[in-house]
Amino acid sequence: MVEEDDDLILSELPDEELVPQMHDDLYDGLADEITEGVNILLERGWTPYDILTKALVEGMRIVGIDFRDGILFVPEVLLAANAMKAGMSILKPLLIETGAPRLGKMVIGTVKGDIHDIGKNLVSMMMEGAGFEIVDLGINNPVENYLEALERERADILGMSALLTTTMPYMKVVIDTMKEKGVRDDYIIMVGGAPLNEEFGRAIGADAYCRDAAVAVEMAKTLMARRHNLPA
Protein backbone atom coordinates (compact mmCIF):
# COMPACT_ATOMS: atom_id res chain seq x y z
CA MET A 1 0.00 0.00 0.00
CA VAL A 2 2.69 2.43 0.96
CA GLU A 3 4.83 2.43 -2.18
CA GLU A 4 2.44 4.23 -4.49
CA ASP A 5 1.75 6.97 -1.95
CA ASP A 6 5.28 8.18 -1.37
CA ASP A 7 4.63 11.62 -2.82
CA LEU A 8 1.16 12.03 -1.42
CA ILE A 9 0.46 15.37 0.24
CA LEU A 10 -2.24 14.64 2.77
CA SER A 11 -3.36 18.24 3.15
CA GLU A 12 -4.24 18.39 -0.55
CA LEU A 13 -6.62 15.44 -0.35
CA PRO A 14 -10.33 16.10 0.01
CA ASP A 15 -11.98 14.51 3.04
CA GLU A 16 -13.41 11.61 1.08
CA GLU A 17 -9.88 10.64 -0.01
CA LEU A 18 -8.04 11.61 3.14
CA VAL A 19 -10.03 9.31 5.42
CA PRO A 20 -9.43 6.15 3.33
CA GLN A 21 -5.80 7.24 3.04
CA MET A 22 -5.64 7.36 6.84
CA HIS A 23 -7.05 3.84 6.93
CA ASP A 24 -4.18 2.80 4.66
CA ASP A 25 -1.63 4.68 6.78
CA LEU A 26 -2.94 3.03 9.90
CA TYR A 27 -2.71 -0.34 8.16
CA ASP A 28 0.89 0.45 7.28
CA GLY A 29 1.65 1.62 10.82
CA LEU A 30 2.63 5.15 9.81
CA ALA A 31 2.31 7.11 13.04
CA ASP A 32 3.56 10.44 11.63
CA GLU A 33 1.06 10.34 8.80
CA ILE A 34 -1.76 9.53 11.21
CA THR A 35 -0.77 12.47 13.40
CA GLU A 36 -0.77 14.71 10.34
CA GLY A 37 -4.12 13.38 9.12
CA VAL A 38 -5.76 13.91 12.50
CA ASN A 39 -4.49 17.50 12.64
CA ILE A 40 -5.72 18.21 9.11
CA LEU A 41 -9.20 16.93 9.90
CA LEU A 42 -9.29 18.99 13.10
CA GLU A 43 -8.33 22.10 11.12
CA ARG A 44 -11.15 21.31 8.70
CA GLY A 45 -13.62 21.41 11.57
CA TRP A 46 -14.17 17.70 12.11
CA THR A 47 -15.24 16.80 15.64
CA PRO A 48 -12.71 14.73 17.59
CA TYR A 49 -15.35 12.00 17.94
CA ASP A 50 -15.87 11.76 14.17
CA ILE A 51 -12.13 11.60 13.53
CA LEU A 52 -11.79 8.90 16.15
CA THR A 53 -14.60 6.71 14.86
CA LYS A 54 -14.45 7.31 11.11
CA ALA A 55 -10.70 7.53 10.57
CA LEU A 56 -8.99 5.67 13.42
CA VAL A 57 -11.39 3.06 14.76
CA GLU A 58 -12.59 2.12 11.29
CA GLY A 59 -8.96 1.78 10.18
CA MET A 60 -8.15 -0.45 13.13
CA ARG A 61 -11.26 -2.50 12.42
CA ILE A 62 -9.82 -3.32 9.00
CA VAL A 63 -6.49 -4.20 10.62
CA GLY A 64 -8.35 -6.47 13.04
CA ILE A 65 -10.13 -8.30 10.25
CA ASP A 66 -6.90 -8.94 8.36
CA PHE A 67 -5.21 -10.11 11.55
CA ARG A 68 -8.05 -12.54 12.21
CA ASP A 69 -7.84 -13.79 8.61
CA GLY A 70 -4.09 -14.37 8.82
CA ILE A 71 -3.19 -11.60 6.37
CA LEU A 72 -1.52 -9.43 9.02
CA PHE A 73 0.59 -10.69 11.91
CA VAL A 74 1.46 -9.45 15.39
CA PRO A 75 4.25 -7.03 14.35
CA GLU A 76 2.04 -5.28 11.80
CA VAL A 77 -0.81 -5.01 14.30
CA LEU A 78 1.56 -3.50 16.85
CA LEU A 79 2.75 -0.92 14.35
CA ALA A 80 -0.86 -0.07 13.48
CA ALA A 81 -1.66 0.19 17.18
CA ASN A 82 1.27 2.58 17.64
CA ALA A 83 -0.06 4.72 14.81
CA MET A 84 -3.53 4.76 16.33
CA LYS A 85 -2.04 5.63 19.70
CA ALA A 86 -0.35 8.65 18.11
CA GLY A 87 -3.72 9.83 16.79
CA MET A 88 -5.47 9.10 20.06
CA SER A 89 -2.96 11.15 22.03
CA ILE A 90 -4.12 14.24 20.10
CA LEU A 91 -7.80 13.39 20.31
CA LYS A 92 -8.10 12.22 23.89
CA PRO A 93 -7.92 15.63 25.61
CA LEU A 94 -10.21 17.08 22.96
CA LEU A 95 -12.74 14.30 23.45
CA ILE A 96 -12.87 15.11 27.16
CA GLU A 97 -13.43 18.80 26.35
CA THR A 98 -16.01 18.30 23.63
CA GLY A 99 -17.74 15.30 25.12
CA ALA A 100 -18.41 12.03 23.38
CA PRO A 101 -20.85 9.22 23.98
CA ARG A 102 -19.78 7.09 26.96
CA LEU A 103 -20.93 3.54 26.64
CA GLY A 104 -19.62 2.27 29.97
CA LYS A 105 -16.56 1.85 32.12
CA MET A 106 -14.20 -1.11 32.00
CA VAL A 107 -11.53 -2.22 34.45
CA ILE A 108 -9.00 -4.35 32.59
CA GLY A 109 -5.78 -6.12 33.53
CA THR A 110 -3.55 -9.11 32.91
CA VAL A 111 -3.92 -11.75 35.63
CA LYS A 112 -1.49 -12.63 38.41
CA GLY A 113 1.69 -14.35 37.26
CA ASP A 114 1.40 -13.05 33.71
CA ILE A 115 3.36 -10.13 32.25
CA HIS A 116 1.92 -10.17 28.73
CA ASP A 117 -0.06 -7.12 27.77
CA ILE A 118 -0.10 -6.73 24.00
CA GLY A 119 -3.60 -8.15 23.60
CA LYS A 120 -4.88 -6.31 26.63
CA ASN A 121 -3.50 -3.03 25.32
CA LEU A 122 -5.14 -3.55 21.94
CA VAL A 123 -8.48 -4.28 23.61
CA SER A 124 -8.11 -1.19 25.80
CA MET A 125 -7.40 1.00 22.82
CA MET A 126 -10.27 -0.33 20.72
CA MET A 127 -12.69 -0.14 23.64
CA GLU A 128 -11.63 3.42 24.31
CA GLY A 129 -12.08 4.24 20.65
CA ALA A 130 -15.57 2.77 20.76
CA GLY A 131 -16.56 5.03 23.64
CA PHE A 132 -15.76 3.03 26.76
CA GLU A 133 -13.85 4.53 29.63
CA ILE A 134 -10.87 2.31 30.46
CA VAL A 135 -9.11 1.78 33.77
CA ASP A 136 -6.02 -0.26 32.92
CA LEU A 137 -4.49 -2.13 35.85
CA GLY A 138 -1.49 -3.33 33.84
CA ILE A 139 0.07 -6.75 34.34
CA ASN A 140 0.34 -9.36 37.13
CA ASN A 141 -2.86 -8.51 38.98
CA PRO A 142 -3.97 -10.42 42.06
CA VAL A 143 -7.69 -10.64 42.73
CA GLU A 144 -7.54 -7.75 45.22
CA ASN A 145 -6.48 -5.34 42.49
CA TYR A 146 -9.50 -6.18 40.38
CA LEU A 147 -11.97 -5.98 43.28
CA GLU A 148 -10.63 -2.67 44.58
CA ALA A 149 -10.66 -1.08 41.13
CA LEU A 150 -14.16 -2.33 40.27
CA GLU A 151 -15.59 -0.83 43.43
CA ARG A 152 -13.55 2.37 43.36
CA GLU A 153 -14.29 3.10 39.73
CA ARG A 154 -17.94 1.98 39.84
CA ALA A 155 -17.16 0.04 36.69
CA ASP A 156 -19.58 -1.83 34.46
CA ILE A 157 -17.19 -4.34 32.96
CA LEU A 158 -14.27 -6.42 34.16
CA GLY A 159 -11.81 -7.53 31.46
CA MET A 160 -9.15 -10.12 32.23
CA SER A 161 -6.33 -11.21 29.96
CA ALA A 162 -3.82 -14.09 30.08
CA LEU A 163 -1.33 -15.41 27.55
CA LEU A 164 -0.23 -18.51 29.38
CA THR A 165 -1.89 -21.86 29.91
CA THR A 166 -0.49 -21.70 33.44
CA THR A 167 -1.99 -18.32 34.29
CA MET A 168 -5.41 -18.46 32.64
CA PRO A 169 -6.95 -20.53 35.49
CA TYR A 170 -6.43 -17.50 37.74
CA MET A 171 -9.41 -15.90 36.02
CA LYS A 172 -11.58 -18.46 37.78
CA VAL A 173 -10.02 -17.49 41.10
CA VAL A 174 -11.11 -13.90 40.48
CA ILE A 175 -14.64 -14.85 39.43
CA ASP A 176 -15.06 -17.29 42.32
CA THR A 177 -13.92 -14.60 44.77
CA MET A 178 -16.46 -12.20 43.29
CA LYS A 179 -19.16 -14.85 43.77
CA GLU A 180 -18.10 -15.39 47.38
CA LYS A 181 -18.35 -11.66 48.02
CA GLY A 182 -21.74 -11.50 46.33
CA VAL A 183 -20.63 -9.02 43.65
CA ARG A 184 -20.31 -11.31 40.63
CA ASP A 185 -23.57 -10.20 39.06
CA ASP A 186 -22.79 -6.52 39.51
CA TYR A 187 -20.38 -6.65 36.58
CA ILE A 188 -20.08 -7.93 33.05
CA ILE A 189 -17.00 -10.17 32.92
CA MET A 190 -15.13 -10.58 29.64
CA VAL A 191 -11.99 -12.69 29.22
CA GLY A 192 -9.46 -13.11 26.45
CA GLY A 193 -5.95 -14.27 25.55
CA ALA A 194 -4.28 -16.60 23.10
CA PRO A 195 -4.80 -19.97 24.85
CA LEU A 196 -8.40 -19.26 25.89
CA ASN A 197 -11.49 -20.52 24.10
CA GLU A 198 -15.27 -20.34 24.36
CA GLU A 199 -15.47 -23.47 26.45
CA PHE A 200 -12.98 -22.15 28.99
CA GLY A 201 -14.87 -18.85 29.23
CA ARG A 202 -18.10 -20.69 29.97
CA ALA A 203 -16.45 -23.10 32.40
CA ILE A 204 -15.05 -20.35 34.61
CA GLY A 205 -18.30 -18.38 34.61
CA ALA A 206 -17.35 -15.40 32.45
CA ASP A 207 -20.04 -13.61 30.48
CA ALA A 208 -17.99 -13.65 27.30
CA TYR A 209 -14.81 -14.97 25.78
CA CYS A 210 -13.47 -12.50 23.22
CA ARG A 211 -11.05 -13.89 20.67
CA ASP A 212 -9.83 -10.47 19.57
CA ALA A 213 -10.20 -6.75 20.23
CA ALA A 214 -12.94 -6.22 17.65
CA VAL A 215 -15.02 -9.02 19.15
CA ALA A 216 -14.46 -7.53 22.62
CA VAL A 217 -15.88 -4.19 21.51
CA GLU A 218 -18.97 -5.73 19.92
CA MET A 219 -19.48 -8.04 22.87
CA ALA A 220 -19.19 -5.17 25.34
CA LYS A 221 -21.76 -3.11 23.43
CA THR A 222 -24.17 -6.05 23.24
CA LEU A 223 -23.80 -6.97 26.90
CA MET A 224 -24.15 -3.35 28.02
CA ALA A 225 -27.33 -2.96 25.95
CA ARG A 226 -28.70 -6.18 27.42
CA ARG A 227 -27.86 -4.94 30.91
CA HIS A 228 -29.70 -1.68 30.37
CA ASN A 229 -32.76 -3.60 29.25
CA LEU A 230 -32.93 -5.63 32.43
CA PRO A 231 -35.69 -4.64 34.85
CA ALA A 232 -34.35 -2.71 37.85
Q: Choose one: 35-43, 46-54, 78-86, 149-157; the region binding another protein (CB under 8 A).
A: 78-86
How far is it, in rounded angstroms, from Cα 82 to Cα 60? 11
- Can residue 89 be called a binding residue for another protein (CB under 8 A)? no
Would you call 124 helix, strand, or coil by DSSP?
A: helix
What is the enclosing helix (H) or strand (E) of 179?
helix 170-180
Look at residues 137, 124, 44 and name the one whose alpha carbon lies nearest to residue 92. Answer: 124
- Can residue 176 be called a binding residue for another protein (CB under 8 A)? no
- State which residue, 95 or 143, has the beta carbon closest to another protein: 143
- State which residue, 96 or 115, has the beta carbon closest to another protein: 115
Q: Choose one: 4-12, 20-28, 108-116, 142-150; the region binding another protein (CB under 8 A).
A: 108-116
Look at residues 97, 201, 197, 195 and name the one whose alpha carbon lies nearest to residue 158. Answer: 201
- Rounded to whole angstroms, what are the CA distances from 112 to 76, 109, 139? 28, 9, 7
How far is it, in rounded angstroms, from Cα 98 to Cα 35? 19
- Can residue 145 be called a binding residue for another protein (CB under 8 A)? no
- State which residue, 114 or 136, has the beta carbon closest to another protein: 114
- When binding is defined by CB under 8 A, the residue of 1, 73, 152, 226 that contacts another protein is 73
- Rounded to whole angstroms, what are the CA distances from 93 to 17, 49, 89, 90, 195? 26, 11, 8, 7, 36
Q: Choose one: 45-53, 73-81, 90-98, 178-186; the region binding another protein (CB under 8 A).
A: 73-81
- Can residue 108 be called a binding residue for another protein (CB under 8 A)? no
Q: What's the min distance (Å) between Cβ of 164 and another protein?
A: 7
Q: What's the min distance (Å) between Cβ of 109 and another protein?
A: 13
Q: Judge whether 220 and 132 are in contact, CB under 8 Å.
A: yes
Residues forming contacts to another protein in the complex (CB under 8 A) are: 73-76, 78-79, 82, 113-118, 139-140, 164-166, 168, 194-197, 200
